[in-house]
Amino acid sequence: MITLHHVPQSRSMRSLWLLHELGIPFEVKAYPFDKTLRSPEFLARSPAGRVPALEIDGTALFETGAITQVLCERYSPQGLGREAGAAERAAWLVWVHFAETISQHAAALTQQHVALREDHMRSPIVMKLEAARIAKCYAAIDARLEEREHLLDGGFSAADVSVGQAVYMARHFAALEDFPRAAAWYARITARPAFTASLPAEGEKLFPEPFFAPWDVA
């Protein structure tokens, strides 16, 4: 049995979406976004106290890129994955891991907009810089999608899942509409049933707003 340890609207949504795309049996153990992730029981699965953690065949995995590689190599090496030696293997790896570049900027903005409770604790300068960095990531995606429907020539893959989930989180902080190819790609991949199945229920949302307006730098 596969068990995904998951916080809604966090990086673990990436693994949840992939599991739904793979169509394999799994169960989800959900956690709140709080100190529960620092418990000894959870730290035994993910030593940094972060989600996702994935239990498979008695082994606990962490880090979304590693989880994506293991799941694809086992269940879909030439469908959602690209096996070693395949022509698109390098590009697949690059885009699977590019998701973390986007997510690190979204995580900084989540800290500013969600985790910090008092206005005086937030930095408008940090917010502006991180939002601009997200826009640069959007530009990279947009350039990649020139004359492509998906990130790889061979079609939809776990690379689209990984980057698409990162964009889903980043869109709470930086608008995608100025990047038309990326926006059209995002609309296509998020119309998939597996994406819909990975969305949080109304009462589970981490982000209280669909979009956080930028703060002015005074």
Question: How many of the other CB atoms lie within 10 Å of CB of 215?
Answer: 17
Question: What is the C-alpha to C-alpha distance for residues 103 and 105, in angstroms, rounded to an integer?
Answer: 5
Please check the confidence at residue 173 and state whether its pLDDT lies above 50.
yes
Determine the pLDDT at residue 213: 82
Q: How large a percentage of the chain has pLDDT more than 70?
A: 98
Please check the confidence at residue 3 and state whether its pLDDT lies above 60.
yes
Q: Of 17-26, 58-67, 151-160, 205-214, give the lowest mean pLDDT range.
A: 205-214
Mean pLDDT, rounded, for 93-105: 98
Structure tokens at 45: 């699965």
Please check the confidence at residue 218 and state whether its pLDDT lies above 50.
no
Please check the confidence at residue 51 and state whether its pLDDT lies above 90.
yes
Please check the confidence at residue 217 and state whether its pLDDT lies above 60.
no
- Helix or strand holding residue 116 (H, E): none
Question: How many of the other CB atoms lie within 10 Å of CB of 204?
Answer: 14
Phi/psi at 28 (nearest 5 deg)?
Answer: -120, 135
Q: How large a percentage of the chain has pLDDT more than 90?
A: 88
Strand order in the sheet with 27-30: 27-30, 2-6, 53-56, 59-62
Beta carbons of 77 and 83 less than 8 angstroms apart: yes
Whole-model pTM over 0.85: yes
Please check the confidence at residue 88 and state whether its pLDDT lies above 90.
yes
